[in-house]
């Protein structure tokens, strides 16, 4: 049902874009995109009987169309996305990553507006993005939370020489999607999307808003934000039938979040910090503060031009272990190896260590271009010495390696 609605959503949006483009005098049109073939191998069968397949294959396509005019000061962008998945029908899904208008206003171009479905990224740290709250996570795409769903929004920005002030209005909320019974990276119980609840009586039609100020002062980049609306992070609880839990349901509370992100760029060391304070309208949830901060230090380049960057970041969450927070007192230690070759070869690898129960998770990502228009990506993650009360316990049998071939056009 969700895929059918998403396809209808795509068709209607394509019609809107075609109509808008036909009304404009064409001055610049760009068409690009990518097709991706992805294969996953899991070391073990999953924790649930339905997760009995160790291999999985997926195919995705993400084209992008851009139309620019007024010397490039105004543009429309359309980026649809579709993925087919072999094992998990829930991971077969469609989305509009972007369908928006962006334009500069004013004689000096110091005002900018954006309207439509868009993606906005906030954050500076490597291992977790606490301040990145505008877009919903596309949890069907990966375990790292990097992929996001398109978000309906209206943004107006006052631009300055070294920063900006943004007002963002979010008129529609998008629920997070979860893996199905045969999918991986999930809790033992599946999430029933039909049982979703909201604190707001307006549900997904609640109007959220955010303010963000950014400024660059010498080598220091500063970002401060305030968000008020529906939390992008659902609270999961069991559905009980005949005294037994049969599934999970997602509840989306109302929150107010204040946050700051800082990045200081030195000659060889970049210092990073993200800090948030989140307050819930509903007293059933615990207000909390969280931070992630650290540095990336680049060693002197080797004779062949390659470089190594050393990364260390610390995570803290004031709620502690009581509510099943993954990064409540953890450290990430890793490194980035960049060859600086024509193929753009690079490797990022590191380990998360829980300082309380010594749970460890090792993750690696590597990529390299192959000839004209092709790129290969390798990704893997393993979980070790997982404590019985650690939230990562549900992923203990999900050690995996993933190979992906992308074709750009």
Q: What confidence tier does 5 reach under pLDDT thresholds 50, 70, 90?
A: very low
DSSP state of 136: P
Burial of 147 (0-12, 13-18, 19+ CB in 10 A): middle
Name the nearest CA neighbour of 212 among 159, 151, 168. 168
The C-alpha atoms of residue 336 and residue 102 are separated, in whole angstroms, by 34
197-198: strand order across its sheet: 197-198, 244-252, 235-241
146: Cβ contacts below 8 Å, ≥ 6 apart: none
With a cut of 90, say whether residue 109 has pLDDT above it. no
**Residue-level length of the chain:** 409
Q: What is the pLDDT of residue 8?
A: 52
Q: What is the pLDDT of residue 95?
A: 96
Q: What is the pLDDT of residue 27?
A: 52
pTM, to two decimals: 0.89
With a cut of 90, say whether residue 80 has pLDDT above it. yes
Q: What is the pLDDT of residue 107?
A: 77
Percent of the chain with pLDDT over 90: 86
200: Cβ contacts below 8 Å, ≥ 6 apart: 206, 230, 254
The C-alpha atoms of residue 19 and residue 21 are separated, in whole angstroms, by 5
Q: What is the pLDDT of residue 325?
A: 86
Domains belonging to the chain, first-starting first, are 2-408 (2.40.160.10)
The enclosing H or E element of 11 equals: helix 2-22
Q: What confidence tier does 108 reach under pLDDT thresholds 50, 70, 90?
A: confident
In the numeric block, the tokens 């977790």 are attached to 128
CB under 8 A, 24+ apart: contacts of 55-59: 56/85, 56/86, 56/87, 56/88, 56/184, 57/85, 57/86, 58/83, 58/84, 58/85, 58/86, 58/91, 59/35, 59/83, 59/84
Decide the pairing of beta strands 244-252 and 197-198.
parallel
Name the nearest CA neighbour of 209 among 153, 145, 248, 264. 153
Asked which of 20-24, 232-236, 331-335 is least confident by mean pLDDT, the reply is 20-24
pLDDT (average), residues 348-373: 96
Six token digits for residue 293: 């901060």
The C-alpha atoms of residue 333 and residue 387 are separated, in whole angstroms, by 20
Six token digits for residue 263: 């990045």
Name the nearest CA neighbour of 66 among 51, 74, 57, 76. 76
User: What pLDDT digit, counting tens, does each position of 151-163 carry?
Assistant: 999 999 999 999 9
Going 327 to 130 to 322 to 199, the CA torsion angle's sign is: negative
With a cut of 80, say whether residue 21 has pLDDT above it. no
pLDDT (average), residues 136-157: 95
Q: What is the pLDDT of residue 59?
A: 98
Q: What is the pLDDT of residue 20?
A: 47
* DSSP letters for 327-351: TSEEEEEEEEEE--STT--EEEEEE
User: What pLDDT digit, counting tens, does each position of 68-77 carry?
Assistant: 999 889 999 9
Q: What is the pLDDT of residue 28?
A: 80
With a cut of 90, say whether residue 16 has pLDDT above it. no
- Neighbour count for residue 218 (Cβ, 10 Å): 8
Mean pLDDT of all residues belonging to the chain: 92
With a cut of 70, say whether residue 391 has pLDDT above it. yes
Name the nearest CA neighbour of 352 among 401, 314, 399, 390. 314
With a cut of 50, say whether residue 147 has pLDDT above it. yes
pLDDT (average), residues 129-157: 95
Q: What is the pLDDT of residue 106?
A: 80
Q: What is the pLDDT of residue 368?
A: 97
Q: What is the pLDDT of residue 322?
A: 67
With a cut of 70, say whether residue 149 has pLDDT above it. yes
Q: What is the pLDDT of residue 7?
A: 47
Six token digits for residue 248: 């999970």
Asked which of 149-153, 158-162, 282-286, 299-303 is least confident by mean pLDDT, the reply is 282-286
Q: What is the pLDDT of residue 22?
A: 47
Quote the distance between the C-alpha of residue 16 and its chain's center: 27
The C-alpha atoms of residue 152 and residue 3 are separated, in whole angstroms, by 19
The C-alpha atoms of residue 238 and residue 247 are separated, in whole angstroms, by 6
In the numeric block, the tokens 């993005």 are attached to 129
Percent of the chain with pLDDT over 70: 93
With a cut of 70, say whether residue 187 has pLDDT above it. yes
């Amino acid at each position: 049902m969700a895929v059918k609605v998403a396809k209808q959503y795509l068709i209607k949006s394509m019609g809107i874009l075609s109509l808008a483009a036909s009304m404009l005098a064409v001055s610049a049109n760009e068409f690009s995109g990518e097709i991706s073939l992805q294969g996953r191998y899991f070391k073990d069968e999953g924790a649930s009987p339905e997760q009995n397949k160790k291999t999985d294959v997926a195919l995705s396509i993400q084209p992008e169309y851009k139309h620019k005019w007024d010397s490039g000061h105004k543009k429309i962008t359309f980026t649809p996305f579709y993925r087919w998945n072999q094992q998990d029908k829930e991971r077969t899904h469609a989305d509009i990553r972007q369908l928006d208008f962006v334009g500069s206003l004013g004689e000096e171009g110091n005002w900018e507006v954006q309207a439509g479905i868009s993606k906005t990224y906030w954050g500076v740290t490597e291992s977790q993005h606490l301040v990145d709250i505008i877009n919903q996570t596309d949890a069907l795409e990966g375990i790292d939370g990097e992929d996001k769903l398109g978000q309906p929004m209206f943004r107006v920005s006052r631009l300055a020489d070294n920063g900006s002030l943004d007002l963002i209005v979010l008129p529609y909320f998008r629920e997070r999607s979860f893996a199905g019974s045969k999918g991986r990276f999930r809790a033992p119980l599946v999430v029933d999307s039909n049982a979703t609840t909201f604190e707001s009586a307006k549900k997904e039609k609640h109007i959220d808003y955010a303010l963000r100020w950014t400024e660059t002062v010498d080598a220091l980049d500063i970002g401060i934000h305030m968000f008020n609306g529906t939390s992008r992070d659902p609270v999961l609880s069991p559905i009980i039938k005949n005294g037994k839990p049969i599934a999970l349901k997602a509840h989306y509370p109302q929150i107010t979040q204040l946050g700051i992100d800082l990045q200081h760029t030195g000659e060889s060391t970049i210092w990073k910090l993200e800090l948030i304070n989140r307050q819930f309208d509903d007293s059933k949830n615990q207000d909390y503060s969280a931070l992630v901060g650290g540095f990336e230090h680049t060693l002197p380049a080797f004779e062949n031009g390659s470089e190594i960057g050393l990364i260390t970041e610390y995570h803290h969450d004031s709620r502690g272990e009581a509510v099943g927070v993954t990064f409540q007192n953890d450290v990430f230690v890793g490194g980035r190896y960049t060859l600086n070759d024509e193929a753009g070869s690079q490797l990022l690898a590191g380990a998360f260590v829980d300082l309380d129960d010594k749970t460890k998770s090792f993750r690696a990502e590597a990529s390299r271009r192959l000839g004209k228009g092709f790129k290969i990506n390798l990704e893997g993650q393993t979980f070790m010495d997982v404590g019985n009360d650690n939230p990562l316990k549900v992923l203990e049998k999900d050690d995996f390696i993933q190979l992906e071939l992308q074709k750009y056009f």
